[in-house]
């Protein structure tokens, strides 16, 4: 695509200036920025002196890919970072400089960086007993894992918004209107956060919030680390600053006067990561620190009908409505379907997608299916139907519990049998599944027949011990032999000193499962899951053993997986695999990937999830933000205003990332069987009514 | 065109303010109310966000109402249905209110609402652990002859505690008493209230378990909705603006909480219409529902009080019989019941002359009150015989058998099926839901034990269940199922290695071979899916089994239900899931998924068939011919000394009704009034007898042209004819000496 005049200006503006670039989604800001990076490199700027800073890692992908594709001779990859990865990198380098000052108990030791899973694990081990003992949170209805997430979330907000983490409860309470009891909940959240923080400091453990705090509040204020960063990166490209947090903005405030050039990109009418601390208002204030201001206004994505839909929708959402282009018709840009039941809506979507792909020749990659939330059942139902219609599809699932992966469950079941000392029994169902998965062509009928006989007292017994020859025949000697190989391997393992869990998995995988005529042989996905499991178990062991050298981490790890705490986080480069396929994703995930498409399917249009902010009883993204006036109370009017803004930004943001048509899918009864009547539906209805009236009028 | 009767027209003149309408059975109350709602939608200038709110009692009424309104809007006002109004049950409304602002009451966004079954499980666990920890608790309450009986102490006692606690918790929640607060009250009170103490402890355990799961129960949902409204006046004001008019149907069954919520939503000078029939209040035992709320409301001075006394539903004879029941009740032989006035005026009046929906022509010969003392089986046989004759003569008419409880309905259904009589069920879990759940259950059973040929044969029959009814197909299904059942080595069919059963059995018959190979493919697919997460397994199976939209939707909600179950019980495997499904299939709980339950039951769709229904589910419906069964003094007691009451267990001393006593202790704790043992038991008899009298009234008024009432002597042969029925029969014989 050729760059428009304004975009070219972005690319070619002096290389010693700081630019503030703004515009709504779809005006080509990132495209222009990528072009500027190329120009910088062409002009002789060293690749590794350019830093692309983004609020989340995936947003840097377009930069890396574009540069890889282009013919610009780069001396290596440009560096991309988020505030989190910068903090990690800096703390890792400079920890000894500050450890003493901030009271770490062992300032000379290396710090331990905690993943989200490990945070949950330590919460369970150290904070949970305190919560139980004092009966904290006894008036709040929330599952344990979300409870921990929100406690940690408060610490993260304190770090990213830069307020004293001791004031969390005070801030939340001052804005609270409602039950007195809620005040106690905030106090409990404060106590738990303090407990967790103390535990971290005592053990040199760094969760995300501590990493950011150490970087922003300490390292950045020291001459040496600061000079290190500023000298390494002379040219800054900061995309989606509206999705970033005050911590990032403050760093930029200091950095901008010292860099050679900078390009700050601001997406108007966004701010989708508010619940993660994003602060668009704070971001916009960076404008006045920049020497050059450019605004892109020409829309490069939407067809004229889609533009008309955008303005009609804006009207229905009480937003300033841009004028529709001449000869455009909003109705041409939408398809609205009214179904009674949820599964009918899923069918409707699948059929329409199939028809687009097969009859109209649309590239599947140009289609996305979106919903405010994407529960597994919906994802699965959609994928099954699309597969039936032979439509390639992919789903972005950042994580799912490892225990839900059959391959992982197989490995864990075998681990339980191979480690009787853990005392974690495996059921005969699990063992039968494990056999069908680990031995090629082992069917469930024969597996059950075998397991019912040979699995006794938590042990697998030899095939030849089956006294009834007829039964041996039924199972077949071929399968029996392979069962024996597996069993003898397990038996031999039990006789030896136990290995660390990850080593056990590797050995089992390498010596048995991946061999010809066993289940993981030539099965890429299973092998991939096994690799993830091994990685995950290893990291767990390494980190935990550094902190507690004598703890046997294996049964701990298995218990965590069984509880569903450990997730399969490694979806390796989901964007790269199965490129030409329909994407199924939560609406926000799609928005934040910043990749426009031709066709969008919005499912569950009646759901209130389109408008409602994520509600978390222990925390509050707005009250804990920099924009909140101290002492103000959070009222219903605030809630309504936020919901309206959320919906408008979301709906209009999606439309601006659509080239041709939006399919709106609605079912009278939601998936839980409740009648649906969300704000988006009301807006769609009022728009349809208005369009109908206008048509009648004409 | 809807042509209102004069009294209906008076109601339809409503434009604003408060109005109460007392309506008799068959007076077209729902039609009138939905017409009024449609008229308001059409005539009141509404902003985009404004709606008329209609609140009904049960889910099926929502469907009924919505359908009726959609019709009026289209036909009479030429408007698009679905816009400008919202029809909800109280639960649905509470859900709407809380979901919008869950944080106000300490709820997380993803809070789940446990359905009755799940909540019941949690109570069960709490009760069991409490009973184990307090082995001496029953000492004080067991009768002498059961004092040392082990079974009574372990099992019966636990059941009693559970029933008692369930009602206690429900009531405490209705009174807005949190578990912690109640515990404190118990501790502070110096009095001996052992039942309240017991229940309060279990309540505390129960609440803890709910919190741990991030869940609330149905009762909480309503309680929390009220709390939300009280906590945030701004939010309340917004909702008041949104729902400018509130129309409430079945207001006689309104509870205190419902009244409080609607009162807040309507506001001081709001627009609130309440319609109901105090004589049809049948949801009151151990709840705070009470027709007095409606009656009191109608007395308030700013309320326009109206009546709908004309009913075009029944023949004069049936109307007279119902009116006579009111007369008898007003002079009830038991003074305490008499004072409560279970049934009150107005009388049912026939329609004025020339009414387009006038009463059917009278025929007293079509009213039968059978005097015989039947056994339960004889009663069923008699009715089956009568149905055999009647159905063949009346293929265009509607007919129902009304039963006081679910389980006897299931027996009747079995009997009808055995005798090959056409029937439909309108029991708690409708047959549609049950069939879907049953089908899933059977397939799950083959996965539970994949080598079991009998289970496989059943799954095969499930797969071909839609072909049943066709004689030839049925024979083929039976033959094949029999062959599969005979299989000693299932693997030879599903995964042949050395022997191929299918090749041997059907290698020559192309059609049969293809057919069985198709089934084999399905079974393999299901088995491969067996270790997927349960929701995905359910969806995989249902994609192969179901075609109808309601079936698919029901299966989808079963999948979600089991997923939730799995999250609460991470250790669950196929046997546990299978047990859950069985519980649904047995109708042990209201399965709140999407199903045909949401569609209103319409007797007119089932002409020439028998509808089997409970009395409760029959409310609002009508049939040409109605059988009222089991009219004895167990199902319809009159608080006589020889009556057996459901709540009074034989192993408890002094015939105490512990459920009632526990509630009385709760009340005493709350009001600080003294508690005296036994009073509540007596009071419960009066209340139960009163409610059952109204149930009888509901039953009688379901009949349009023909009514047959029978009774049986119960399981032990001890029951006698219900007193009101005996009285009606006496009166009838006097009125009609020569039937």
Closest alpha carbon within chain B to A435: B531
The shortest CB-CB distance from A141 to any of B106, B231, B489 is to B106
Given a cut of 70, whether residue A673 has pLDDT beyond it is no
Check whether residue A419 and residue A559 sit in a common domain.
yes
* Per-residue confidence (pLDDT) for residue A573, from 0 to 100: 40
Residues of A in contact with B212 (CB under 8 A): 143-144
Check whether residue A192 and residue A286 sit in a common domain.
no
Give residue-wise pLDDT tens across range A471-497: 999 999 999 999 999 999 999 999 999
* Per-residue confidence (pLDDT) for residue A350, from 0 to 100: 96
Give residue-wise pLDDT tens across range A217-269: 999 999 999 999 999 999 999 999 999 999 999 999 999 999 999 999 999 98
pLDDT bucket at A546, cuts 50 / 70 / 90: confident
Compute the distance between CA of residue A509 and CA of residue A514 in angstroms, rounded to an integer.
6
Closest alpha carbon within chain B to A340: B549
Using the beta-carbon criterion (under 8 Å), do B450 and A562 form an inter-chain contact? no
Check whether residue A601 and residue A644 sit in a common domain.
yes
Is A671 an interface residue toward B (CB < 8 Å)? yes
pLDDT bucket at A397, cuts 50 / 70 / 90: low
Residues of A in contact with B234 (CB under 8 A): 635-637
A301 contact partners, CB below 8 Å, separation of at least 6: A25, A26, A596, A656, A657, A658, A659
SS3 content of chain A, % helix, strand, coil (to 5): 55, 10, 30
* Per-residue confidence (pLDDT) for residue B702, from 0 to 100: 96
Q: Which domain holds residue A674?
A: 304-399+575-697
Lowest mean pLDDT of A95-99, A568-572, B55-59, B328-332, name the range.
A568-572
Distance of CA A605 to the CA centre of its chain: 23
Mean pLDDT of the A206-227 span: 96
* Per-residue confidence (pLDDT) for residue A280, from 0 to 100: 95
Is A185 an interface residue toward B (CB < 8 Å)? yes
Is A8 an interface residue toward B (CB < 8 Å)? no
Residue B72, classed as helix, strand or coil, is helix
Check whether residue A182 and residue A160 sit in a common domain.
yes
Helix (H) or strand (E) holding A665: strand A658-667
- What pTM does this model have? 0.75
Q: Do the Cβ atoms of A620 and A172 come closer than 8 Å?
A: yes
A to B CB pairs, distance under 8 Å: 194
Alpha helices of B134-287 — where are they, by DSSP H? 150-151, 157-174, 179-188, 194-212, 218-231, 233-242, 256-266
User: Would residue A16 count as lying in a domain?
Assistant: yes
Give residue-wise pLDDT tens across range B192-229: 899 999 999 999 999 988 887 777 888 888 999 999 99
Is A608 an interface residue toward B (CB < 8 Å)? yes
Check whether residue A428 and residue A498 sit in a common domain.
yes
Q: How far, CA to CA in Å, does B623 sit from each of B399, B488, B619, B698? A: 5, 51, 11, 13
Of A246, A268, A295, at which residue does a domain stop? Answer: A295
Check whether residue A49 and residue A119 sit in a common domain.
no
pLDDT bucket at B593, cuts 50 / 70 / 90: very low
Distance to chain A for B572, nearest Cα, Å: 11
User: Would residue A88 count as lying in a domain?
Assistant: no
* Per-residue confidence (pLDDT) for residue B322, from 0 to 100: 97
Mean pLDDT of the B603-613 span: 89
Higher pLDDT: B305 or A402? It is B305
Check whether residue A435 and residue A508 sit in a common domain.
yes
Mean pLDDT of the B98-105 span: 85
User: Would residue A269 count as lying in a domain?
Assistant: yes
Compute the distance between CA of residue A371 and CA of residue A59 in angstroms, rounded to an integer.
21
Given a cut of 70, whether residue B427 has pLDDT beyond it is no
Closest CA to B214 of A198, A618, A641, A20: A618
Residues of B in contact with A620 (CB under 8 A): 103
Check whether residue A395 and residue A407 sit in a common domain.
no
**In which region does residue B210 sit, left (phi positive, over 0), alpha (psi from -120 to 50) or beta (all else)?**
alpha
ipTM reported for the complex, 2 dp: 0.74
Using the beta-carbon criterion (under 8 Å), do B108 and A617 form an inter-chain contact? yes
Given a cut of 80, whether residue A461 has pLDDT beyond it is yes
Of A528, A563, A598, at which residue does a domain stop? Answer: A563
Contacting A residues, span 373-392, partner chain B, CB-CB under 8 Å: 375-377, 380-381, 384
Contacting A residues, span 202-261, partner chain B, CB-CB under 8 Å: none
Using the beta-carbon criterion (under 8 Å), do A443 and B527 form an inter-chain contact? yes
Helix (H) or strand (E) holding B510: helix B510-529
Strands B51-56 and B303-308, how do they pair? unpaired
Distance of CA B72 to the CA centre of its chain: 28
User: Would residue A267 count as lying in a domain?
Assistant: yes
Is A429 an interface residue toward B (CB < 8 Å)? yes
Using the beta-carbon criterion (under 8 Å), do A433 and B531 form an inter-chain contact? yes
Partner residues linked to B425 by β-bridges: B612
Compute the distance between CA of residue B191 and CA of residue B633 in angstroms, rounded to an integer.
37
User: Would residue A620 count as lying in a domain?
Assistant: yes
pLDDT bucket at A569, cuts 50 / 70 / 90: low
Check whether residue A185 and residue A288 sit in a common domain.
no
Check whether residue A454 and residue A483 sit in a common domain.
yes
User: Would residue A570 count as lying in a domain?
Assistant: no
Q: What are phi and psi of A592, to 5 degrees?
A: -80, -10
Check whether residue A158 and residue A242 sit in a common domain.
no
Q: Report the residue of B108, B227, B552, B598 to disrupt the A interface, i.e. the one with the largest count of A CBs within 10 Å.
A: B108
Is A657 an interface residue toward B (CB < 8 Å)? no
The shortest CB-CB distance from A640 to any of B99, B214, B238 is to B238
* Per-residue confidence (pLDDT) for residue B272, from 0 to 100: 97
* Per-residue confidence (pLDDT) for residue A574, from 0 to 100: 41
Give residue-wise pLDDT tens across range B493-536: 999 988 899 988 887 777 788 889 989 988 998 998 888 889 88
Residues of B in contact with A404 (CB under 8 A): 533
Q: How far, CA to CA in Å, does A586 sit from each of A36, A369, A601, B9, B410? A: 32, 8, 11, 51, 45
The shortest CB-CB distance from B497 to any of A476, A635, A689 is to A476
* Per-residue confidence (pLDDT) for residue B681, from 0 to 100: 92
pLDDT bucket at A674, cuts 50 / 70 / 90: low
The shortest CB-CB distance from B106 to any of A181, A376, A429 is to A181
User: Would residue A569 count as lying in a domain?
Assistant: no
Give residue-wise pLDDT tens across range B23-69: 999 999 989 999 999 999 988 888 878 899 999 887 777 877 888 88
Using the beta-carbon criterion (under 8 Å), do B531 and A473 form an inter-chain contact? no
- What SS3 string covers B511-576? HHHHHHHHHHHHHHHHHHHCCCCHHHHHHHHHHHHCCCHHHHHHHHHHHHHHHHHHHHCCCCCHHH
Task: Find the distance separating the first CA and the last CA of chain B, reported in whole Å.
Answer: 40
pLDDT bucket at B469, cuts 50 / 70 / 90: low
Give residue-wise pLDDT tens across range A17-40: 999 999 998 899 999 999 999 999
Helix (H) or strand (E) holding B99: helix B90-100
Is A183 an interface residue toward B (CB < 8 Å)? no
B652 contact partners, CB below 8 Å, separation of at least 6: B141, B142, B143, B160, B658
pLDDT bucket at B470, cuts 50 / 70 / 90: low
Using the beta-carbon criterion (under 8 Å), do B594 and A669 form an inter-chain contact? yes
Q: How many CA atoms lie within 13 A of A97 on its CB side?
A: 16
User: Would residue A217 count as lying in a domain?
Assistant: no
* Per-residue confidence (pLDDT) for residue B594, from 0 to 100: 43
Q: In residues, how long is chain A?
A: 698
The shortest CB-CB distance from A445 to any of B210, B235, B495 is to B495
Higher pLDDT: A673 or A285? It is A285
Using the beta-carbon criterion (under 8 Å), do B491 and A446 form an inter-chain contact? yes
The shortest CB-CB distance from B489 to any of A341, A474, A677 is to A474
Using the beta-carbon criterion (under 8 Å), do B536 and A376 form an inter-chain contact? yes
Q: How far, CA to CA in Å, does A30 sit from each of A23, A27, A144, B462, B641? A: 11, 9, 40, 57, 86
Using the beta-carbon criterion (under 8 Å), do A143 and B108 form an inter-chain contact? yes
Is A297 an interface residue toward B (CB < 8 Å)? no
Q: Where are the beta strands (DSSP E) in B286-431?
A: 303-308, 367-369, 399-403, 423-426
Of A563, A584, A607, at which residue does a domain stop? Answer: A563
CATH number at residue A669: 3.40.50.300
Give residue-wise pLDDT tens across range A607-652: 888 988 777 889 999 999 999 998 899 988 998 899 999 999 999 9
Q: Tokens for B599?
A: 């569609």
Residues of A in contact with B208 (CB under 8 A): 138
Using the beta-carbon criterion (under 8 Å), do A617 and B556 form an inter-chain contact? no
Residue B455, classed as helix, strand or coil, is helix
Contacting A residues, span 448-507, partner chain B, CB-CB under 8 Å: 448-449, 473-474, 476
Q: How far, CA to CA in Å, does B594 sit from each of A176, A333, B25, B430, B534? A: 37, 32, 29, 12, 19
Check whether residue A608 and residue A683 sit in a common domain.
yes
Closest alpha carbon within chain B to A562: B570
Domain count, chain A: 4
């Amino acid at each position: 695509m050729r760059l428009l005049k304004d975009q070219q200006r972005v690319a070619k503006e002096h290389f010693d200036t700081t630019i503030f670039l703004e515009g709504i989604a779809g005006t080509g800001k990132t495209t222009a920025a990528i072009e500027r990076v190329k120009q910088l490199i062409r002009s002789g700027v060293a690749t590794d002196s350019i830093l692309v800073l983004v609020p989340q890692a995936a947003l840097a992908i377009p930069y890396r890919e574009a540069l890889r594709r282009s013919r610009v001779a780069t001396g290596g990859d440009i560096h991309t970072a988020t505030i989190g990865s910068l903090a990690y990198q800096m703390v890792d380098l400079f920890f000894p400089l500050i450890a003493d000052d901030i009271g770490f108990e062992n300032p000379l030791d290396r710090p331990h960086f905690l993943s989200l899973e490990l945070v949950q694990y330590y919460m369970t081990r150290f904070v949970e007993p305190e919560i139980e003992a004092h009966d904290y949170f006894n008036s709040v209805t929330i599952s344990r894992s979300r409870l921990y997430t929100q406690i940690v979330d408060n610490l993260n907000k304190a770090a990213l918004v830069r307020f004293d983490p001791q004031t969390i409860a005070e801030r939340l309470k001052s804005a609270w209107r409602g039950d007195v009891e809620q005040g106690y909940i905030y106090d409990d959240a404060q106590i738990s956060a303090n407990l967790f923080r103390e535990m971290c400091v005592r053990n040199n453990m760094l969760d995300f919030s501590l990493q950011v705090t150490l970087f922003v509040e300490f390292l950045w204020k020291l001459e040496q680390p600061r000079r290190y960063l500023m000298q390494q990166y002379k040219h800054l490209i900061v995309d989606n600053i509206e999705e970033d947090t005050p911590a990032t903005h403050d760093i930029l405030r200091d950095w901008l006067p010292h860099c050679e050039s900078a390009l700050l990109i601001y997406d108007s009418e966004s701010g989708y990561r508010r619940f993660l601390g994003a602060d668009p208002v704070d971001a916009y204030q960076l404008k006045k620190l920049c020497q050059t201001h450019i605004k892109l206004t020409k829309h490069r994505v939407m067809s004229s009908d889609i533009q008309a839909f955008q303005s009609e929708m804006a009207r229905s959402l009480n937003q300033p409505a841009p004028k529709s282009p001449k000869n455009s018709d909003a109705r041409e840009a939408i398809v609205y379907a009214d179904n009674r039941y949820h599964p009918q809506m899923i069918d409707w979507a699948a059929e329409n997608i199939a028809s687009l792909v097969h009859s109209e020749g649309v590239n599947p990659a140009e289609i996305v299916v979106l919903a405010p939330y994407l529960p597994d059942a919906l994802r699965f139902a959609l994928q099954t139907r699309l597969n039936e219609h032979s439509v390639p599809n992919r789903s972005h699932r950042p994580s799912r519990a490892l225990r839900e992966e059959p391959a992982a469950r197989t490995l864990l079941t075998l681990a339980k049998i191979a480690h009787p000392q853990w005392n974690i029994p495996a059921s005969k169902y699990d063992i039968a599944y494990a056999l069908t998965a680990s031995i090629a062509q082992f069917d469930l009928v024969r597996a059950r027949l075998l397991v019912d006989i040979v699995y006794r007292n938590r042990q697998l017994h030899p095939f030849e011990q089956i006294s009834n020859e007829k039964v041996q025949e039924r199972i077949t000697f071929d399968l029996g032999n392979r069962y024996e190989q597996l069993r003898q391997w397990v038996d031999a393992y039990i006789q030896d000193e136990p290995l660390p869990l990850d080593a056990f998995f590797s050995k089992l995988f390498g010596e048995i499962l991946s061999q010809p005529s066993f289940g993981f042989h030539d099965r890429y996905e299973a092998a991939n899951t096994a690799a993830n499991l091994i990685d995950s178990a290893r990291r767990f062991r390494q980190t935990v053993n550094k902190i507690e050298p004598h703890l046997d981490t294996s049964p701990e790890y298995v218990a965590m997986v069984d509880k569903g705490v450990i997730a399969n986080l490694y979806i390796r480069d989901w964007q790269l695999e199965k490129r030409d396929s329909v994407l199924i994703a939560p609406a926000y995930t799609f928005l934040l990937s910043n990749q426009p498409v031709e066709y969008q399917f919005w499912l569950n249009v009646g759901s209130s999830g389109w408008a409602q902010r994520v509600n978390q009883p222990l925390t509050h993204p707005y009250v804990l933000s920099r924009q909140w006036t101290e002492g103000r109370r959070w009222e219903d009017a605030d809630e309504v205003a936020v919901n309206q803004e959320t919906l408008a930004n979301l709906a209009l943001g999606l439309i601006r990332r659509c080239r041709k048509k939006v399919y709106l899918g609605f079912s009278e009864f939601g998936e839980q069987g409740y009648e649906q009547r969300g704000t988006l539906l009301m807006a769609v209805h009022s728009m349809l009514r208005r369009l109908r009236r206008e048509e009648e009028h004409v | 065109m809807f042509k209102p009767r004069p009294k209906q027209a008076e109601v339809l003149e409503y434009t604003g303010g408060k109005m109460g309408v007392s309506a008799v059975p068959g007076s077209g109350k729902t039609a009138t109310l939905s017409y009024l709602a449609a008229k308001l939608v059409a005539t009141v200038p509404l902003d985009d966000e404004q709606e008329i709110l209609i609140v009904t009692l049960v889910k099926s009424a929502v469907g009924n109402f919505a359908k009726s309104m959609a019709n009026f809007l289209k036909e009479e006002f030429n408007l698009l249905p679905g816009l400008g109004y919202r029809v909800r049950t109280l639960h649905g409304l509470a859900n709407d209110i809380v979901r919008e602002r869950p944080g106000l009451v300490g709820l997380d966004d993803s809070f789940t609402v446990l359905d009755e079954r799940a909540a019941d499980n949690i109570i069960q666990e709490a009760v069991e652990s409490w009973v184990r920890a307090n082995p001496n608790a029953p000492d004080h309450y067991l009768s002498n002859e059961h004092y040392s009986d082990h079974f009574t102490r372990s099992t019966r006692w636990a059941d009693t505690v559970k029933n008692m606690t369930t009602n206690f918790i429900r009531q405490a929640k209705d009174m807005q008493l949190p578990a912690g607060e109640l515990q404190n009250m118990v501790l502070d009170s110096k009095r001996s209230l052992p039942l309240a103490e017991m229940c309060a402890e279990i309540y505390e355990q129960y609440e803890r378990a709910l919190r741990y799961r991030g869940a609330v129960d149905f009762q909480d949902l309503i309680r929390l909705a009220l709390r939300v409204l009280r906590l945030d006046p701004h939010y309340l004001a917004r909702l008041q603006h949104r729902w400018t008019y509130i129309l409430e149907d079945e207001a006689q069954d309104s509870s205190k909480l419902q009244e409080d919520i609607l009162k807040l939503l309507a506001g001081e000078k709001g627009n609130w219409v309440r319609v109901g029939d105090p004589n049809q209040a049948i949801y009151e035992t151990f709840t705070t529902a009470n027709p007095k709320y409606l009656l009191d409301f109608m007395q308030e001075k700013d309320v326009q009080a109206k009546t709908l006394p004309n009913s075009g539903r029944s023949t004069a004879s049936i109307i007279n019989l119902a009116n006579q029941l009111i007369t008898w009740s007003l002079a009830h032989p038991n003074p305490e019941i008499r004072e409560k006035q279970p049934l009150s005026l107005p009388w049912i009046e026939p329609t004025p002359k020339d009414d387009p929906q006038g009463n059917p022509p009278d025929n007293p010969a079509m009213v039968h009150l059978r005097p015989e003392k039947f056994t339960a089986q004889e009663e069923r046989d008699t009715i089956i015989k009568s149905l055999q004759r009647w159905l063949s003569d009346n293929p265009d008419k509607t007919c129902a058998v009304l039963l006081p409880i679910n389980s006897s309905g299931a027996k009747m259904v079995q009997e009808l099926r055995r005798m090959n009589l056409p029937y439909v069920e309108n029991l708690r879990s409708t047959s549609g839901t049950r069939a879907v759940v049953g089908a899933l259950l059977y397939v799950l059973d083959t996965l539970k034990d994949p080598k079991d040929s009998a289970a496989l044969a059943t799954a095969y029959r499930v797969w071909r269940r839609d072909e049943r009814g066709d004689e030839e197909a049925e024979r083929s299904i039976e033959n094949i199922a029999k062959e599969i059942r005979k299989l000693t080595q299932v693997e030879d069919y599903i995964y042949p290695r050395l022997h191929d059963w299918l090749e041997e059995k059907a290698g020559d018959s192309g059609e049969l071979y293809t057919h069985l190979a198709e089934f084999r493919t399905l079974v393999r697919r299901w088995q491969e899916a067996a270790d997927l997460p349960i929701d995905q397994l359910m969806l995989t199976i249902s994609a192969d089994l179901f075609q109808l939209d309601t079936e698919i939707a029901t299966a989808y909600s079963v999948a979600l239900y089991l997923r939730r179950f799995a999250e609460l019980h991470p250790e669950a495997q196929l046997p546990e899931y299978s047990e859950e499904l069985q519980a649904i299939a047995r109708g042990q709980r209201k399965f709140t998924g999407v199903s045909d339950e949401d569609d209103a039951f319409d007797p007119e769709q089932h002409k020439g068939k028998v509808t089997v229904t409970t009395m409760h589910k029959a409310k609002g419906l009508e049939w040409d011919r109605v059988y009222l069964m089991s009219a004895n003094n167990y199902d319809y007691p009159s608080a006589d000394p020889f009556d057996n009451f459901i709540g009074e267990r034989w192993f408890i001393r002094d015939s105490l009704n512990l459920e009632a006593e526990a509630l009385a202790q709760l009340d005493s704790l709350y009001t600080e009034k003294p508690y005296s043992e036994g009073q509540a038991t007596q009071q419960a008899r009066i209340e139960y007898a009163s409610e059952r009298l109204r149930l009888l009234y509901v039953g009688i008024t379901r009949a349009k042209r023909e009514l047959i009432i029978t009774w049986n002597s119960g399981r032990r042969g001890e029951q006698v004819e219900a007193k009101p029925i005996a009285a009606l029969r006496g009166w009838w014989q006097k009125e009609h000496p020569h039937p």
